[in-house]
Amino acid sequence: MCERLSQPAAILAELVALDSVNPDLVPGGAGESAVADHCARWLAARGFEVHRLEERPGRPSLVAVAHGTGGGRTLMLNGHFDTVGLAGYDGDPLLPRVADGRMYGRGTFDMKGGIAAMMVAAARAVAAGPLRGDVVLACVADEEHGSSGTEEVLASFTADAAIVTEPSHLQLTLAHKGFAWFDVEILGRAAHGSRPDLGVDAIAKAGHFLVALEEWGRRLAEGPAHPLLGTGTVHASVIEGGEEASTYPARCRITLERRTVPGETVEGVTGELTLVLDELVSRVPGFRYQLTRGVHREPFEADPGADVVRVLRRHAEHALGRPPLIRAEPFWTDCALLDRAGIPCVLFGVDGEGAHAATEYVDLASLDRLTEILTATVGEFCS
């Protein structure tokens, strides 16, 4: 790279060059150790008290604290180190490339750009101080899979408010969906293919469930909608069944995902699914099932009147020359964990494209703008 880079962009280039693929997503992935080591050195050199949390070996998160003079509010900036895999990326995913005001590379957008911005913003705000409140940087592992990093941080640290710097195109993100995963196993009876009198075809029975699942999705789409997120959704994700052509299948397993909006709970969703299945039991001869609930995460909705939202909105409007757009995200983020821990939070991050895609980039002007907005927000909130 021959272009002269701003401080956030230079740090981002260093972070992109460090492989931090989540090994829970890609077996053998590098994990977060190298990028955590790099950030720890940078933050410690600027006076931050750095805590390394590593309940899972090789999967460290950092909490870097700049203590205030006392009597002020604590603000946490949260972002994740880990990235999705490198296979299939167009070009070298670990070689940051700058062209036309963009930086390309795995993690530039999702979300090492946010990490770089919050590191520089916190350092600048502390240097410009004094601040009465503490500034806490939570640079976490494993957001792309199980969010064990933020959960580990929240077991030991808290704050009066938080900003998650996931990419949001410099738009104020006040809500996102949750999700719940289920395994539905349709039960048949194995028998030789020549003996329909003995066999029960679990795959054929599963067809009734798939039709009912599609109808459930239609009812959701026509039901009450959240003003920013719309309605919840449901879809079949994986189907497995049968052993060989000459045998009636005894089992057919369908994994499904139900995306939820604020106001919906995993208990309520489980009840909806059970009603769908029990209705099939009542009308489809021989229909039997087993239901297993898997991973679930709550939806998130910020209080638009919370102090952190108001302060961030004001500084974003000043930097952008207009009020920031208000948006919601269909995907899940660590905001929900912070909110559940009683920490008012909001999501605000860079512009760009290509999360999890073959080409990924961050708009460098937005990276600098984000750093400016976060610096001012930290300065006011913690003063």
User: Region 280-296: what's the mean pLDDT?
Assistant: 97
Task: Report the run of H or E that residue 277 belongs to, with start and end.
Answer: helix 266-283
In this predicted model, what pLDDT tens digit does every residue of 225-251 receive, in sequence order? 999 999 999 999 999 999 999 999 999
Q: Do residues 235 and 316 share a domain?
A: no
User: Region 111-137: what's the mean pLDDT?
Assistant: 97
**Per-residue pLDDT for 18 more than 70?**
yes
Q: Do residues 247 and 289 share a domain?
A: yes
Q: Do residues 64 and 106 share a domain?
A: yes
- Domain finish residue from 297, 323, 354: 297
**Per-residue pLDDT for 1 more than 60?**
no
pLDDT band at 4 (very low <50, low <70, confident <90, very high): confident
In this predicted model, what pLDDT tens digit does every residue of 77-110 receive, in sequence order? 999 999 999 999 999 999 999 999 999 999 999 9
Q: Distances in Å between the alpha carbon of 79 and those of 1, 43, 255?
A: 26, 15, 30
In this predicted model, what pLDDT tens digit does every residue of 24-66 receive, in sequence order? 999 999 999 999 999 999 999 999 999 999 999 999 999 999 9
**Beta-bridge mates of residue 52:** 62
- Domain finish residue from 263, 278, 297: 297
Residue 200 domain-assigned? Answer: yes
Residue 2 domain-assigned? Answer: no
**Per-residue pLDDT for 347 more than 80?**
yes
Residue 126 domain-assigned? Answer: yes
Q: Do residues 189 and 55 share a domain?
A: no
Residue 337 domain-assigned? Answer: yes
pLDDT of residue 3: 64
CATH code, 92: 3.40.630.10
* Pairing assessment for the beta strands 251-260 and 178-187 based on DSSP bridges: antiparallel
Taken as a whole, the chain contains a residue count of: 383
**Per-residue pLDDT for 340 more than 80?**
yes
Q: Do residues 27 and 120 share a domain?
A: yes
User: Region 106-116: what's the mean pLDDT?
Assistant: 97
User: Region 211-235: what's the mean pLDDT?
Assistant: 97
Smallest CA-to-CA distance from 201 within 211, 186, 212, 213 is with 186
Q: Do residues 194 and 304 share a domain?
A: no
The Cα 81–Cα 115 span in angstroms is: 8
Residue 258 domain-assigned? Answer: yes
Q: If 0-12 CB within 10 Å is exposed, 13-18 middle and 19+ buried, where does residue 182 land?
A: buried
In this predicted model, what pLDDT tens digit does every residue of 132-161 receive, in sequence order? 999 999 999 999 988 999 999 999 999 999
Q: Do residues 263 and 314 share a domain?
A: no
User: Two tokens at 305?
Assistant: 């009147």
Range of 28's domain? Answer: 7-176+300-381
pLDDT of residue 223: 95
- Domain finish residue from 277, 297, 317: 297
The percentage of residues in the chain with a pLDDT greater than 70, rounded to a whole number, is 99
Q: Distances in Å between the alpha carbon of 51 and those of 103, 152, 337?
A: 30, 12, 20
Residue 231 domain-assigned? Answer: yes
Q: Do residues 38 and 89 share a domain?
A: yes
In this predicted model, what pLDDT tens digit does every residue of 179-200 receive, in sequence order? 999 999 999 999 999 999 999 9
Residue 1 domain-assigned? Answer: no
CATH code, 264: 3.30.70.360
pLDDT band at 2 (very low <50, low <70, confident <90, very high): very low
In this predicted model, what pLDDT tens digit does every residue of 313-335 receive, in sequence order? 999 999 999 999 999 999 999 99
Q: Do residues 71 and 146 share a domain?
A: yes
Mean pLDDT of the chain: 96
Q: Are 77 and 118 in contact (CB under 8 A)?
A: yes
Listed in order, strand segments (DSSP E) in 197-284 are 233-241, 247-248, 251-260
Q: Do residues 326 and 280 share a domain?
A: no
Q: Tell me the one-letter amino acid at 55.
A: E
User: Region 14-21: what's the mean pLDDT?
Assistant: 98
Domains identified in the chain, total number: 2
Can you tell me whether residue 180 is helix, strand or coil? strand
Can you tell me whether residue 332 is helix, strand or coil? coil
Q: Do residues 170 and 308 share a domain?
A: yes
Q: Do residues 14 and 68 share a domain?
A: yes
User: Two tokens at 215?
Assistant: 């109808």
